[in-house]
Amino acid sequence: MTETAPDLDRLRGGAPPRNHDARTIAALTGNPGCARRGVMDAAGVDKDAVARALGFPAPFGQSQFAITRGNAFEAQVKADGCAELLTLLRDRLGLAVPEVAYDDLEVVAGNEGRELRHIRTRRLIARALESGEGTLFDHPLLRLDIAGQPAYLEPDVIAFQLAGRLHVIEIKSFAVVDGQAEPEQVAAAARQSAVYVLALRRLVEELGHDPARVSHEVFLVCPENFSNRPTATPLDVRPQLAVLRRQLARITRIDRILDALPDDLTFEPGDALAESVRAVEARYAPECMAGCEMALFCRDEARACGATGALGRSVRDDLGGVDAIGTALALADGVLTPSDDLAETAEQLRTAARLRAEALAGAAQGAA
């Protein structure tokens, strides 16, 4: 256990830790400078429950119908030891998939504990790497360090020994119609699969093998043409892997953030919850609305403070060093003298203000 683990347990109060999944890590790496999300995710805080307690419930989520449909589709694909999945890989993709063993790692000896499941996952993958035997691992539990803290991840399936390499198989319930799927959904699946590939590569490396034995090509399994008949598509996640590695390296280490926080800080529901959340700095941008449960609360906070991030990451980055909209307007109007490091930004703001004024004046004359 790491030195910061007791502090992270305290942040949750009496609540059990929430598991990470690929979606949460993909969202976290999309905003690596956000200390608030970093701390809450590292501690396993239920952000959805916190957001609801604050009166700002998450602006996204699947309907119960979609969840039920997705679970039914996954169960169908995995039925009888993934028989339909193996047939799909052989027939649809033309892969020379041999007869393989099947191991379900969702429960180990009647125990659903994360550490026990992870240990068994390591042991079985190590054995498969040594023997070269083909094996399908269902619900393996991988681990990836996020900001210095271990996060447990559960891919849908790992298929071992296709052309001598491990492959991640991602099962999604969105439809592929006439060979095409919604680009945003495919992109999200690629980002999530890249998280699993990276975690699996690190495990393989820890076991003393070449991480390249984990393929960058994953297999995306979806319903075809709105039916329950599955189809499989190979997906190259090398671009997503490169982004993921770079962004994980940028995430501020949690222990440094914790050092600056009050010793009694906790995210337990109660009168002090909003104050506790505000004690950890956020880095809100409109893009957060698509992937973070705290987005509505952080947006309200950013607007109230006049933060430039509320206008978008590109605006905030262009105004580097100017965190408040009021400061930007004052620099643009020339009523605030900029420091040396903001001189160039101030000049650009004054130019933009002048061009805007000229455009408005021209439009007014044309209307007259």
For 209-244, the pLDDT digits (tens) are 999 999 999 999 999 987 889 999 999 999 999 988
Distances (CA, A) of 348 to 313, 329, 338, 344: 18, 12, 12, 6
> What is the architecture of the domain spanning 64-248?
Alpha-Beta Complex (3.90)
State what percent of residues in the chain have pLDDT above 90: 30
The contacts of residue 6 (CB under 8 Å, 6+ apart) are none
pTM: 0.72
The contacts of residue 193 (CB under 8 Å, 6+ apart) are 22, 168, 170, 218, 220, 235, 237, 240
Radius of gyration of the chain measured on its C-alpha atoms: 24
On the question of pLDDT at 56 being above 80, the answer is: yes
On the question of pLDDT at 179 being above 90, the answer is: no
Distance CA 49, CA 60 (A): 14
- pLDDT given at position 1: 43
User: Which tens digits make up the pLDDT trace of 265-322?
Assistant: 999 999 999 999 999 999 998 988 878 899 999 999 999 999 888 888 888 888 877 8
Confidence of residue 112 (pLDDT cuts 50, 70, 90): low
- pLDDT given at position 6: 65
More confident residue, 19 or 71: 71
On the question of pLDDT at 108 being above 80, the answer is: no
Confidence of residue 148 (pLDDT cuts 50, 70, 90): low
